[in-house]
Amino acid sequence: MVDENYKANSPELELNANIDESKLTDDERKMLSDLKTSRAEKGIQPPAMADVQMEDSIIGQSEPTTTIMEPVAPDKIAENISSPFPTTAKIGPEALDAAPPPPVAEASPLLKSEEEGDDAVADAGTEAYLESCPHCGWDLAQPTVVDPTSDEKMGFLHSVLGQKTFIQQYDLFGGKVVVRFRTLTTKEMDVIYNFVFKQRETGVITTIQDYWEKVNRYRLYLQLVHLSATDGSFTHTLPDSYSRETNSYATDFWQFPAYDPEMGYLEQIEEKVLTEVLRTETIQRTISTYCARFNRLVSKLEVMIDSSDFWNETEQQS
């Protein structure tokens, strides 16, 4: 806020009646003539002495305009005289103590997502976690695979020493259903990859997701060797090898009347399994889940080859 005492007013040109026009130049005489003409047109007359004295008396009553300069103490910094004078009294510390504190603003209510916890609100800038493996469909929320049991290690040891496929059995639905899986040979995996790659070249498979879906399905159909119910309602025993060429140590092989050496018969195997064995979506997902668990067990056993205690635990206990 600017002090009105220091605010410059618009200057009014005053006309001195005692000017000696004989001493003026031609330009000055013209300016004087224009000034007189302008005042005559506006009707502005010089203020009377009484009016000037009245204005001075009013100003003197409202606020003194004379500034008294006092000497400043040596240890005090003088204030800038060009700044406006304060018009309000300074607040002392006792006034601050007496004043009540300002009211505290009420906290805004939490959003529903915030009340639900971290599960409902994801951290900014972070990617969403995968719920299942994009390759085998394994539920990533499941705990880490536990260490293999002694029987599992013994069975794996027999398969390694005998150079045979490793077979593991699982009990489903409280032991009412039994399923067995086996590992594949290198040639069997080559058959799967070659066939799926040809499907991709011919346009049957168009995306990478479909590519891996087909690979995992064909692996499941070859790894599944037995599925039965303990009450005898159904029993399915499948060959333990794709062909004699891919595994000569097997005891049973897939055989079909029509056989194309270039394309193989993975499609015929898929049709037979889905038609006779895994006929419903429920049993298909259940068997796929246990097959993924079996493959994780095999991976766990494979990475334990450097464990010094692995082979000791397979020794006969005295």
Instruction: Give the number of C-alpha atoms closer than 13 A to the C-alpha of residue 303, restricted to the C-beta side.
Output: 8
Cβ contact 300:153 at 8 Å? no
Nearest to 166 by CA among 158, 175, 176, 178: 158
Find the range with the poorest average confidence among 78-82, 145-149, 309-313: 78-82
Nearest to 55 by CA among 47, 67, 45: 47
**What percent of the chain lies above the pLDDT cut of 90?**
32
Q: How many residues does the chain have?
A: 318
pLDDT, tens only, 214-239? 999 999 999 999 999 999 999 999 99
Residue 185 has pLDDT above 60, yes or no: yes
Residue 77 has pLDDT above 60, yes or no: no
pLDDT at res. 283:
92
pLDDT at res. 219:
95
Q: For 206-217, what is the mean pLDDT?
A: 92
Residue 158 has pLDDT above 70, yes or no: yes
Greater pLDDT, 26 or 66 = 26
Domain residue limits, the chain:
173-307
pLDDT at res. 114:
47
pLDDT, tens only, 83-135? 555 555 555 655 555 556 666 656 555 444 444 555 544 555 566 678 877 77
Cβ contact 181:289 at 8 Å? no
Average pLDDT, the chain: 76
Q: For 63-90, what is the mean pLDDT?
A: 55
Q: How confident is the model at residue 34 (pLDDT cuts 50, 70, 90)?
A: confident
DSSP secondary-structure letter at 314? G
Residue 150 has pLDDT above 90, yes or no: no
Q: For 133-153, what is the mean pLDDT?
A: 75
Tokens of 70: 């006092």
Positive/negative CA dihedral, 92, 93, 95, 100: positive
Burial label, 291 (beta-carbon count in 10 A; 0-12, 13-18, 19+):
buried
Q: How confident is the model at residue 22 (pLDDT cuts 50, 70, 90)?
A: confident
Encoded amino acid at 22, one letter:
S
**What percent of the chain lies above the pLDDT cut of 70?**
59
Cβ contact 168:149 at 8 Å? no
CA–CA separation, 41 vs 20, rounded Å? 23
Contacts of 148 (CB under 8 A, 6+ apart): 156, 297, 300, 301, 304
Greater pLDDT, 249 or 184 = 184
pLDDT at res. 264:
84
Cβ contact 177:230 at 8 Å? yes
Greater pLDDT, 153 or 183 = 183
